[in-house]
Amino acid sequence: NKNSLKKLKKSKEKLDKIGLEAEEFVEKFERKCMLKHPNNNKIRIVSHEDCSAGYDILSYQSKSSILLDKYIEVKSYSGEPHFFWSKNEVKTAAKEKNNYFLYLVNRDEINNDDYLPTIIQNPYEMVFNNNEWNKETQNWKFKLKSCN
Protein backbone atom coordinates (compact mmCIF):
# COMPACT_ATOMS: atom_id res chain seq x y z
CA ASN A 1 0.00 0.00 0.00
CA LYS A 2 2.19 2.81 -1.34
CA ASN A 3 1.84 6.39 -0.22
CA SER A 4 2.62 8.70 -3.12
CA LEU A 5 3.70 12.31 -2.61
CA LYS A 6 0.43 13.42 -4.21
CA LYS A 7 -1.55 11.29 -1.74
CA LEU A 8 0.51 12.64 1.17
CA LYS A 9 -0.10 16.26 0.10
CA LYS A 10 -3.83 15.58 -0.28
CA SER A 11 -3.91 14.04 3.21
CA LYS A 12 -2.06 17.08 4.66
CA GLU A 13 -4.50 19.47 2.93
CA LYS A 14 -7.44 17.56 4.43
CA LEU A 15 -5.88 17.71 7.93
CA ASP A 16 -5.25 21.45 7.52
CA LYS A 17 -8.88 22.00 6.47
CA ILE A 18 -10.19 19.94 9.39
CA GLY A 19 -7.88 21.82 11.79
CA LEU A 20 -9.02 25.20 10.49
CA GLU A 21 -12.70 24.23 10.84
CA ALA A 22 -12.10 23.20 14.47
CA GLU A 23 -10.16 26.41 15.21
CA GLU A 24 -12.92 28.55 13.67
CA PHE A 25 -15.51 26.64 15.71
CA VAL A 26 -13.59 27.31 18.95
CA GLU A 27 -13.00 30.98 18.07
CA LYS A 28 -16.75 31.43 17.53
CA PHE A 29 -17.49 29.44 20.73
CA GLU A 30 -15.12 31.66 22.75
CA ARG A 31 -16.63 34.85 21.34
CA LYS A 32 -20.08 33.59 22.32
CA CYS A 33 -18.85 32.74 25.85
CA MET A 34 -17.25 36.17 26.17
CA LEU A 35 -20.16 38.04 24.54
CA LYS A 36 -20.26 40.60 27.35
CA HIS A 37 -16.48 41.17 27.36
CA PRO A 38 -15.80 44.70 26.04
CA ASN A 39 -12.95 43.44 23.84
CA ASN A 40 -14.43 40.15 22.64
CA ASN A 41 -13.50 41.18 19.08
CA LYS A 42 -9.82 40.68 20.08
CA ILE A 43 -10.32 36.93 20.56
CA ARG A 44 -8.51 35.46 17.60
CA ILE A 45 -6.79 32.57 15.91
CA VAL A 46 -3.04 33.21 16.17
CA SER A 47 -1.78 30.05 14.49
CA HIS A 48 -2.10 31.77 11.06
CA GLU A 49 0.26 34.58 12.15
CA ASP A 50 2.62 32.47 14.27
CA CYS A 51 2.55 28.70 13.94
CA SER A 52 5.34 28.43 16.52
CA ALA A 53 3.30 30.08 19.32
CA GLY A 54 2.48 26.72 20.92
CA TYR A 55 -1.28 27.40 20.87
CA ASP A 56 -3.96 28.26 18.30
CA ILE A 57 -6.24 30.86 19.87
CA LEU A 58 -5.91 33.79 22.27
CA SER A 59 -8.94 34.55 24.44
CA TYR A 60 -9.99 35.79 27.88
CA GLN A 61 -10.36 33.55 30.95
CA SER A 62 -13.14 35.70 32.39
CA LYS A 63 -15.31 38.70 31.59
CA SER A 64 -13.11 40.74 33.96
CA SER A 65 -9.82 39.79 32.25
CA ILE A 66 -8.04 42.86 30.95
CA LEU A 67 -5.40 41.01 28.95
CA LEU A 68 -5.76 38.10 26.56
CA ASP A 69 -4.84 35.53 29.21
CA LYS A 70 -6.21 32.29 27.81
CA TYR A 71 -4.02 30.21 25.48
CA ILE A 72 -6.06 27.60 23.63
CA GLU A 73 -4.73 24.62 21.71
CA VAL A 74 -7.41 23.09 19.50
CA LYS A 75 -7.38 19.41 18.61
CA SER A 76 -10.08 17.72 16.57
CA TYR A 77 -10.86 14.03 16.45
CA SER A 78 -13.40 11.55 15.14
CA GLY A 79 -14.45 8.53 17.19
CA GLU A 80 -12.58 8.07 20.46
CA PRO A 81 -10.85 11.23 21.78
CA HIS A 82 -7.22 11.27 20.64
CA PHE A 83 -4.77 13.87 19.40
CA PHE A 84 -1.14 14.61 18.54
CA TRP A 85 0.68 17.12 20.71
CA SER A 86 3.91 18.71 19.51
CA LYS A 87 6.95 19.24 21.71
CA ASN A 88 6.46 23.01 21.42
CA GLU A 89 2.79 22.78 22.46
CA VAL A 90 3.71 20.63 25.49
CA LYS A 91 6.46 23.11 26.46
CA THR A 92 4.02 26.03 26.19
CA ALA A 93 1.39 24.16 28.22
CA ALA A 94 3.96 23.43 30.95
CA LYS A 95 5.00 27.10 31.04
CA GLU A 96 1.50 28.62 30.98
CA LYS A 97 -0.06 26.08 33.40
CA ASN A 98 -3.63 27.25 34.30
CA ASN A 99 -3.64 29.82 31.48
CA TYR A 100 -3.35 27.03 28.89
CA PHE A 101 -6.42 25.12 27.71
CA LEU A 102 -6.83 22.13 25.44
CA TYR A 103 -10.09 22.09 23.47
CA LEU A 104 -10.94 18.67 22.06
CA VAL A 105 -13.43 19.03 19.22
CA ASN A 106 -15.38 16.01 18.03
CA ARG A 107 -15.71 16.35 14.25
CA ASP A 108 -18.70 13.99 14.29
CA GLU A 109 -20.68 16.42 16.46
CA ILE A 110 -19.27 19.85 15.55
CA ASN A 111 -22.35 20.79 13.50
CA ASN A 112 -24.86 20.01 16.26
CA ASP A 113 -26.29 23.26 17.66
CA ASP A 114 -25.91 22.21 21.29
CA TYR A 115 -22.41 20.68 20.92
CA LEU A 116 -19.79 21.68 23.49
CA PRO A 117 -16.12 20.77 23.08
CA THR A 118 -14.21 19.03 25.86
CA ILE A 119 -12.17 21.70 27.64
CA ILE A 120 -9.12 20.75 29.69
CA GLN A 121 -7.42 23.45 31.74
CA ASN A 122 -3.71 22.94 32.46
CA PRO A 123 -3.41 19.90 30.16
CA TYR A 124 0.26 19.52 31.04
CA GLU A 125 -0.85 18.25 34.45
CA MET A 126 -4.26 16.86 33.47
CA VAL A 127 -3.12 14.98 30.35
CA PHE A 128 0.67 14.82 29.95
CA ASN A 129 1.40 13.95 33.58
CA ASN A 130 -1.74 11.87 34.03
CA ASN A 131 -2.00 8.09 33.73
CA GLU A 132 -5.59 8.27 32.40
CA TRP A 133 -4.17 9.01 28.95
CA ASN A 134 -2.05 6.61 26.91
CA LYS A 135 1.00 8.23 25.33
CA GLU A 136 2.47 6.74 22.19
CA THR A 137 5.69 7.90 20.53
CA GLN A 138 5.26 8.68 16.83
CA ASN A 139 8.72 10.00 16.01
CA TRP A 140 12.24 9.76 17.38
CA LYS A 141 15.00 12.30 16.97
CA PHE A 142 18.49 10.87 16.56
CA LYS A 143 21.58 13.00 16.97
CA LEU A 144 25.15 11.80 16.46
CA LYS A 145 27.11 11.97 19.70
CA SER A 146 30.24 14.04 19.56
CA CYS A 147 33.54 12.20 19.43
CA ASN A 148 34.92 13.91 22.56
Q: What is the pLDDT of residues 125-140, one digit of tens each?
A: 999 999 999 999 888 8
Rounded Cα gap, residues 42 and 7, in angstroms: 38
Rounded Cα gap, residues 48 and 89, in angstroms: 15
Q: Is residue 147 pLDDT above 80, yes or no?
A: no
- pLDDT value of position 146: 81
**pTM, entire model:** 0.91
- pLDDT value of position 1: 60
Average pLDDT over residues 108-136: 95
141 falls in which pLDDT band (50, 70, 90)? confident
Q: What is the pLDDT of residues 3-34, one digit of tens each?
A: 788 888 998 899 899 999 999 999 999 999 99
Q: What is the pLDDT of residues 34-89, one digit of tens each?
A: 999 999 999 999 998 998 999 999 999 999 999 999 999 999 999 999 999 999 99
Rounded Cα gap, residues 14 and 8, in angstroms: 10
- pLDDT value of position 88: 95
Query: Please, what sign has the CA dihedral across residues 93, 73, 133, 16?
Result: negative
